Amino acid sequence: MMPAAVAEPMNTGTPLDKDASQADLLRSARFRMEREAHWRRLDALVTRAEKGGIISLSYDETRDLVEQYRQAMNSLSVARDISLDRALVAYLESLCSRAYLVVYAPQESLGGLMGRLLTRGIPQAVRRSALPLFIGFLALLLGMAAGYRLFIEDASWFYTFVPPDLADMRTPEASANYLRSTIYGDERHEGSRLAAFSSSLFSHNTRIAILIFALGIFLAVPSFVLTFYNGLVLGAFFGMFAQKGLGYDLFAWLSIHGVTELAAIAIACAGGARLGLAILLPGRRTRRAALRHEAHDAVKLVILAGLMLIAAAFIEGFLRQLVQSPILRLTIGWGMGLFWLGWLLFSGREKKIRRGRS
């Protein structure tokens, strides 16, 4: 049995009008003619869904979309087999890919995302990251100890560690009185000036934190080094003030924001360490799969670091200048520390226990 279209080129009849010649057409052309209206309908629906999201479609239209999508997929599979019209197959391929994305990969809903992250996601991620957090804080503390020791042995190390713009006249040669004046706000700032200061602090510190995190991908070493270096600067600074008998005052001055800020840096380093550890010790997974898996917690650690840096910048910009008493500074600083610790240790607990038992 021959398909009707096969006999067609042999008869050289005059061309008829379009409807009558349909029977004459190639099988693939007829196939297209019968279904084209459906495809156009799907095309219109998909275009609308791409522009305004699936929400912009009504109930009936959404049902229609799914139906037309199945039909178009069917058409695609047939067209790949029977049609040599490249334009047709290309059209169906692209239409079906677009419809596929609309149907199977729509926009994720963002409602409640922040709430979930704060109450469960971040604290749980932190509790799962004991080893990376240890690495992060270790890097910072080792850096501080090394910076302090080196400075005590030879004060010229200070110039090696501390970049001049950061030191800003606070060098080992400066008098104790000058150093004291930098701690107890003789730098008169108005409120708006403080805001500018804290916003630039936040922007700068967050950038550093993201960099520390992202560098973790190179086997965690650069993250560690950068955090260690931050500790080194701090240690040298502390050594300098301590030599002048201002250790306690500096400790209070640093504590008010530093507890939050330095913890944030160490946490960002822990995020980087998670990435680096995934590549170094992937376990039974492939390295790429391990990286993808570890990234879930690592990214949450960075978000936490970002939040803490916002708080730290606010404290550093405003409160550090406004609060002058060392006792109060210590209370605020370590109080914040306790607050972070409490949140991270106890929030979202019940769920974890339930999951652990099941």
**In angstroms, what is the minimal distance from the CB of 243 to another protein?**
31
Binding pattern to another protein, positions 196-215, x when CB under 8 A?
A: x--xx-xx--xx--xx-xxx
DSSP string spanning 157-189? HHHHHS-HHHHTT-STTS-HHHHHHHHTT-S--
Within residues 62-81, the interface with another protein by CB under 8 A covers 70, 73-74, 76-77, 81
Q: Which is nearer to another protein, 109 or 177 (CB)?
A: 109
Query: In 109-246, which residue ranges form alpha helices assigned H by DSSP?
Result: 113-116, 122-127, 130-153, 157-161, 164-167, 176-183, 191-215, 221-243
**In angstroms, what is the minimal distance from the CB of 158 to another protein?**
20
Within residues 290-329, the interface with another protein by CB under 8 A covers 291-292, 295-296, 298-299, 302-303
Q: Which is nearer to another protein, 76 or 183 (CB)?
A: 76
**In angstroms, what is the minimal distance from the CB of 264 to another protein?**
15
Structure tokens at 327: 């006792």
Q: Which residues, other chains included, contact 269 with Cβ-Cβ below 8 Å and sequence gap of 6+?
A: 135, 136, 139, 140, 212, 213, 216, 223, 224, 226, 227
Cβ-contact 235, 146 below 8 angstroms: yes
Within residues 40-59, the interface with another protein by CB under 8 A covers 40, 43
Measure the CA–CA gap between 184 and 244, rounded to whole angstroms: 15
**In angstroms, what is the minimal distance from the CB of 330 to another protein?**
29
Q: Which is nearer to another protein, 292 or 349 (CB)?
A: 292
**In angstroms, what is the minimal distance from the CB of 93 to another protein?**
6
Q: Which is nearer to another protein, 158 or 202 (CB)?
A: 202
Within residues 109-168, the interface with another protein by CB under 8 A covers 110, 113
Within residues 218-277, the interface with another protein by CB under 8 A covers 218, 275
* Radius of gyration over every alpha carbon of the chain, rounded to an integer in angstroms: 33
Cβ-contact 99, 67 below 8 angstroms: no
Please state the separation of Cα 253 from the chain's center in Å. Answer: 31
Q: What angle do CA 169, 171, 172 make, to 5 degrees?
A: 150
Please state the separation of Cα 163 from the chain's center in Å. Answer: 29
Structure tokens at 193: 């000036």
Q: Which is nearer to another protein, 196 or 280 (CB)?
A: 196
Within residues 17-36, the interface with another protein by CB under 8 A covers 18, 21, 25-29, 32-33, 36
Measure the CA–CA gap between 296 and 290, rounded to whole angstroms: 10
Q: Which is nearer to another protein, 9 or 356 (CB)?
A: 9
**In angstroms, what is the minimal distance from the CB of 214 to another protein?**
4
Q: Which is nearer to another protein, 93 or 173 (CB)?
A: 93
Within residues 81-120, the interface with another protein by CB under 8 A covers 81-88, 91, 93-98, 100-101, 103-108, 110, 113
